[in-house]
Structure 1
Amino acid sequence: MKRVAYFLFLASSLFLSSLNFMTAQTIKTKIGVISDLHYTHPSLIVEKGAALENYLSNDRKLLVESEAILKETVANLLEENVNIVLIPGDLTKDGEKVSHRGVAHLLKPLREKGIKILVIPGNHDINNPEAVRFHGDSTQQVETISDEEFGEIYTDYGYGNTISRDKHSLSYVSEPVDGLRILCLDACKYDQNTFVSLGDSHDECITGGALKPETVEWLRTEMQVARILGKQVLGMIHHNVIEHFAYQSVFATPYLVDDFTKVQQYFMEYGLNIIFTGHFHSSDIARVSNPYGQSLHEIETGSIVTYPCPYRIIDINGENMAIETKYIEHIDYPLPEGMDFQTYAAQQIERGFNEMLRGFIHEYYPTFHAYVPRWARSFVTIPHAEELTDIVMSHLSPSALNMLLAHYRGNENLLDRTSINKQELLQNLDDLIDDLAEATTGKMSALTKSVVHKLPIIKKVKASAISIWENVATPESVAANEYTGGKSQEQLAINDLKLQLRFSVPSEYESHYTHIHIQSKRQEHYAPQLSENKKN
């Protein structure tokens, strides 16, 4: 009976769509995109002290300044006269209920001007055991929210006026202007978070994301309906669905949705060709395509609380889309005398990067010996943590920091010192390997150097660095590797900050997938085999 009803619905929709095509008007609208607000309500900082300082020293985000930044962002969007605002997740520092209510309040001036605001959750936003307040040298847990409460708090920000809601996640479809639908996808794993206070062995907030099979079926139906009704569709999801640099799925696995290559092909098959993301805090645009000319652009927008604090302005005129990137230049917050906001934000990255690197080495130092091959343990001596830290820091800072800042900005390949910076980092990696070999193996260092330089993981690290500086997901040196997904991954640099795209009513292609196990033990990848039957 349900199947019969569904086909009757499609038949009636097809008739209505014929009327829609006859009366449809060209879509003309302006969209603002802001991501990863990480808003921290002032009440969470009861008293500044060691607890807050330790947190900030190992973080890249401007949390204390987050309210001033969000207020300035809202003011900028009002000046831009946008019609729609998209926020692809991580609205709060760590899912505190008071912070969520604060976000809803601070966004209210946009809504009062008639601007349609659509939000989705990020990995920080729901059921988070790290929701705390800072009180001098200690922290105390505060109330977080459930997925149901998320929908209630943001009733006026997408969830109260939907075309369709997915029953298995916080995904929904909205039509903020006639003819344009936004597919808002929730891939977060908040149902897997754990709490010591609830009897779990440890507190954990899952960073990674996955689309549930039921959600994939739901989005396929919604894309079919949009196609029949002649609606143009844009997507929004928190996690990346395309690699933005080589081996991102190896070195930054939680930033990609699970089975990302399969998800890419689903999106292209269903006719979704533009999707907005956040999560990584960088401004980057990546593209994949299939043999039938279908493509998918992922427009990743950096965090407003992480240098360079960007936001996007999207102008849509019919099938033409113009993407422009702008930045927060001023905030109502006391900065050091003579320092502008952009410099201030960059310094937080520098401080956070160095401390994160030091903290990582000290935290995982006890486990390093386990990575030494058994045959080498008799003559390998790992330096003390401080000595090891000094060796790593002397080689990777500032060259790795320069790469990180460039990636956050976007268009790394267009910087004045791109080629020099790339070569410096590669040379520093070689020097680091040599110095570590001498520090750990002494007289055996010559043999050790030769072996380590040829390790596959070292080659992947270098390929990843090259791809970031060249602003391509698959540099030519690794393009032939099966890992990259073959010809579907673009090998040309894309302008990350200013781009013209075309998008239209979705068309659907039928495809079949063959499971292929790739080297990575941490996740499985899928390669598509597309059929030659085109669906109209």
Structure 2
Amino acid sequence: MKHTNKLFAILLAVVMTIVLALPVSFAADEPSTSRENDLRVMVMSDMHTLPESMIKGTADYQHAIDLDQKVFNESEAILDTQLQQVRASKPDVLLLNGDITKDGEYAAHKALAAKLKQLKKDLPDLKVYVTNGNHDINNPAAKDFNTADGKAVKAKRTTQKDFRNLYKDVTWNDSSVKATYTPPEGAQAGALSYVARPKKGFTVIVIDSNCYTSDNTSDGEQLCEVRGNIPADLLKWAQRQARAARKRGDTVIGMMHHGVVSHFTQEATILGHFLVDDFRNVSTKLADAGMHYVFTGHQHSQDVAVMRTEKGNTLYDIETGSSITYPCPMRAVWFLREGSAKTDNGWKETVKGSSIKNLSIAHTDPQTGQYVSIGDMTAYAKDRGLSPAVISAVLKDKLYWSLPNYPAELDTVIDKLIPDLCNIPVTEDGKHSLMDIVNYANQSHQGGTDNGQDPAWVKEAKKNVAENKFVAALTDTLCKDLAVLTGQGVNKLTKTELVKGPAIDLLYHSLFGAAHVSYYTVPQIAKDLDEFLVKTLNSMTNDKNYPNDNAFSITGANSVQEGQANWSSLDHGISDSNLVQKLIFALLGNG
């Protein structure tokens, strides 16, 4: 039996080697001759790599992964597999879109940099452009789980200076990097921004949108934050670089970690920290300066969103999902230019994109020590969606760190409340629950399948939500399960910083008022929740902005003259509110 298993493992490894050697097609109709006017780009985002050498099957590590949907055990194997895809495809440019390590562990960055250096040796003509994400620099959560006594210890953090030094031979020292951003005297924010020209006719502007220095964090601490911010001076610098590139006739491509266009209509409401501060103004200024494509990450979704300015310029925000959450994708994008920047008519741009998913991996699981093979990472990660256990663990953890004196009674309440809520039926036959519809909506958006083509049970669930057939049960469950809290427990919860914003704040306090005093306010709570859930479900499952998220084709006419750009396939319908709902943000994760 052991001999058979060994033979199977060898056979599997051979098959995988052959499969990974097959090149990825950038487009079915790409030219087979001259490539002077095109640029082939591959994108990897939010890899959250934790080297297997830092993982051990301990209680501390198990607790850490219980709080997350990310498949950290497989992160290094996925990274290696995706880099093999790059080797086979031989693109001109590889973009790494931030959150490239789990929590900014210096050892993780060092290991990744070594892999990227080897990649550049294997592909001497490849340009690798790296940017950091909110997890990568000055992160106090950096830990090493592989210790002798099984207790996780703090790992060395990566600083801004460390980051640039570690990746200097990968990115900053490359001859294609033409300029770097220098912050004003006394400031540090945005210093990892740079401009590259990988090929004649193409400029890449990389913007460090992260908050991790004292001059750009909310509390003035030298610690990372989830939110993104582009300081005024950095934005002006990016505009100047874009205008200069456009003036010389280049196609301008941006990259940053945070989004600049809302990817679903409720994003600013429930996941506002996944967009840069003042994102409408930022996107407008970049588009009007000549940047019409920007690669982003952070929100772990395979999604394309587009906006148009009053001057008629467009900006496509091409977000790439996380390598280690569903659907574990990467992108291949082909830029083609036709015409000349020297003529009054300018040039035509065609951008074709495809998603690379369903990859196979085989490795020794660092937590169990067992050899495992996973034939389809997309399917594997889909099975690891949100669950009552994950939500309960995250909620307890967030409340524990948010409350000065965490009431012990909350554990009991949460252990009953979350399963009760998640198991509320949303269809008449009772076969589908609130948890089912939440996972469907979340994974539809993550996977780029939010095209409104819902199965029958989802249509029924949406109808029931719209008709308030189950929201009353949801609010009743909230009130009854929270009614056991003592006055002290209620007071502590109503003071927590997890939830802010006028509408949600009113709903939140009404809920606890109802739980502690009476059920008098339940009808109004039900109405508020109903409207909120309907908007959220529809915005995450029916993308009316730009529905072609996995395979897309964009055609545009560009010119060196400002205000003379025009793009087709544009269906812009984004409309956001200004409310930030921190509780849902906490439950869905911090990118």
What is the TM-score when the length of structure 1 is the normalising length? Answer: 0.77
> Quick check: 2:269–2:577 contact (8 Å CA) kept in 1?
no
Identical aligned pairs, as a percentage? 25
Displacement after TM superposition at 1:42 (Å) = 2.4
Aligned residue runs from structure 1 range 132-211, under 5 A: 132-134=143-145, 135=147, 137-161=150-174, 162-168=177-183, 169-192=191-214, 205-211=224-230
> Quick check: 1:31–1:82 contact (8 Å CA) kept in 2?
yes
1:156-176 per-residue CA deviation (whole Å, 9 max, x = no partner) reads: 332123211110221110011
> Quick check: 2:302–2:549 contact (8 Å CA) kept in 1?
yes
Displacement after TM superposition at 1:290 (Å) = 2.1
Q: Does 2:35 match 1:37?
A: no
> Quick check: 1:187–1:210 contact (8 Å CA) kept in 2?
yes
Amino acid at match of 2:417: L
* C-alpha distance in structure 1 between counterparts of 2:401 and 2:112, whole Å: 40
Alignment partner, residue 459 of structure 2: 419
1:451-483 per-residue CA deviation (whole Å, 9 max, x = no partner) reads: 11333x6523431221111123xxxxxxxxxxx
> Quick check: 1:130–1:203 contact (8 Å CA) kept in 2?
no
Q: Does 2:383 match 1:347?
A: yes
Alignment partner, residue 353 of structure 2: 323
Alignment partner, residue 124 of structure 1: 135
Call closer, same or farther: CA 1:416–1:459 in 2, change over 3 Å.
closer
Amino acid at match of 1:53: Q
Q: Does 2:38 match 1:28?
A: yes
* C-alpha distance in structure 2 between counterparts of 1:170 and 1:118, whole Å: 11
Displacement after TM superposition at 1:235 (Å) = 0.5
| Aligned positions, number | 456
* C-alpha distance in structure 2 between counterparts of 1:234 and 1:241, whole Å: 14
Displacement after TM superposition at 1:357 (Å) = 1.2
> Quick check: 2:374–2:380 contact (8 Å CA) kept in 1?
no
Call closer, same or farther: CA 1:174–1:57 in 2, change over 3 Å.
same
What is the TM-score when the length of structure 2 is the normalising length? Answer: 0.70
Alignment partner, residue 393 of structure 1: 422
Secondary structure at 2:280 match in 1: helix
> Quick check: 1:438–1:445 contact (8 Å CA) kept in 2?
no
Call closer, same or farther: CA 1:243–1:49 in 2, change over 3 Å.
same
Alignment partner, residue 64 of structure 1: 73
Displacement after TM superposition at 1:390 (Å) = 2.7
* C-alpha distance in structure 2 between counterparts of 1:174 and 1:443, whole Å: 59
Displacement after TM superposition at 1:428 (Å) = 4.9
Give the root-mean-square deviation of aligned CA atoms. Answer: 3.4
Displacement after TM superposition at 1:244 (Å) = 1.2
1:32-57 per-residue CA deviation (whole Å, 9 max, x = no partner) reads: 01101111122322x32111101111
1:386-439 per-residue CA deviation (whole Å, 9 max, x = no partner) reads: 332232221331221222222211122255515346446665545312433455
Displacement after TM superposition at 1:229 (Å) = 1.1
* C-alpha distance in structure 1 between counterparts of 2:87 and 2:375, whole Å: 26
Residue ranges of structure 1 left out of the alignment (5+ in a row): 1-24, 370-380, 473-489, 511-516, 524-536
> Quick check: 2:294–2:317 contact (8 Å CA) kept in 1?
yes
* C-alpha distance in structure 2 between counterparts of 1:438 and 1:520, whole Å: 27
* C-alpha distance in structure 2 between counterparts of 1:448 and 1:367, whole Å: 30
Call closer, same or farther: CA 1:34–1:428 in 2, change over 3 Å.
farther
Amino acid at match of 2:82: T
Displacement after TM superposition at 1:283 (Å) = 0.4
Call closer, same or farther: CA 1:460–1:179 in 2, change over 3 Å.
same
Displacement after TM superposition at 1:29 (Å) = 2.1
Call closer, same or farther: CA 1:383–1:452 in 2, change over 3 Å.
farther
* C-alpha distance in structure 2 between counterparts of 1:247 and 1:57, whole Å: 27
1:245-275 per-residue CA deviation (whole Å, 9 max, x = no partner) reads: 2231221121111111111111122121111
* C-alpha distance in structure 1 between counterparts of 2:260 and 2:220, whole Å: 31
> Quick check: 2:248–2:560 contact (8 Å CA) kept in 1?
no
Q: Does 2:318 match 1:299?
A: yes
> Quick check: 1:130–1:205 contact (8 Å CA) kept in 2?
no
Aligned residue runs from structure 1 range 324-473, under 5 A: 324-333=354-363, 340-350=376-386, 353-363=387-397, 384-395=413-424, 396-413=434-451, 415-417=453-455, 419-420=459-460, 422-423=462-463, 428-437=470-479, 440=483, 447-455=520-528, 459-472=531-544
Displacement after TM superposition at 1:106 (Å) = 1.7
> Quick check: 1:422–1:469 contact (8 Å CA) kept in 2?
no
* C-alpha distance in structure 1 between counterparts of 2:132 and 2:241, whole Å: 20
Residue ranges of structure 2 left out of the alignment (5+ in a row): 1-34, 184-190, 338-348, 365-370, 404-409, 425-433, 484-513, 565-575, 583-591
Amino acid at match of 1:258: D
Call closer, same or farther: CA 1:388–1:299 in 2, change over 3 Å.
same
Give the structure with the higher percent helix. 1
Call closer, same or farther: CA 1:304–1:193 in 2, change over 3 Å.
farther
* C-alpha distance in structure 1 between counterparts of 2:151 and 2:414, whole Å: 26
Q: Does 2:581 match 1:508?
A: no
Displacement after TM superposition at 1:364 (Å) = 6.0
Call closer, same or farther: CA 1:448–1:360 in 2, change over 3 Å.
farther
* C-alpha distance in structure 2 between counterparts of 1:97 and 1:368, whole Å: 28
Alignment partner, residue 271 of structure 1: 290
> Quick check: 1:129–1:194 contact (8 Å CA) kept in 2?
no
Call closer, same or farther: CA 1:429–1:26 in 2, change over 3 Å.
farther
> Quick check: 1:399–1:425 contact (8 Å CA) kept in 2?
no
* C-alpha distance in structure 1 between counterparts of 2:141 and 2:560, whole Å: 40
Call closer, same or farther: CA 1:73–1:126 in 2, change over 3 Å.
same
1:189-218 per-residue CA deviation (whole Å, 9 max, x = no partner) reads: 1114999xxxx9999631111001110111
Q: Does 2:116 match 1:107?
A: yes
> Quick check: 2:465–2:533 contact (8 Å CA) kept in 1?
no
Call closer, same or farther: CA 1:338–1:522 in 2, change over 3 Å.
closer
> Quick check: 1:128–1:193 contact (8 Å CA) kept in 2?
no
Secondary structure at 2:420 match in 1: helix
* C-alpha distance in structure 2 between counterparts of 1:209 and 1:420, whole Å: 38
Alignment partner, residue 372 of structure 1: none
Secondary structure at 1:65 match in 2: helix
> Quick check: 2:213–2:220 contact (8 Å CA) kept in 1?
no
For 2:273, which of 247, 254, 264 is the aligned residue?
Answer: 254
> Quick check: 1:400–1:425 contact (8 Å CA) kept in 2?
no
Call closer, same or farther: CA 1:445–1:419 in 2, change over 3 Å.
farther
Call closer, same or farther: CA 1:120–1:450 in 2, change over 3 Å.
same
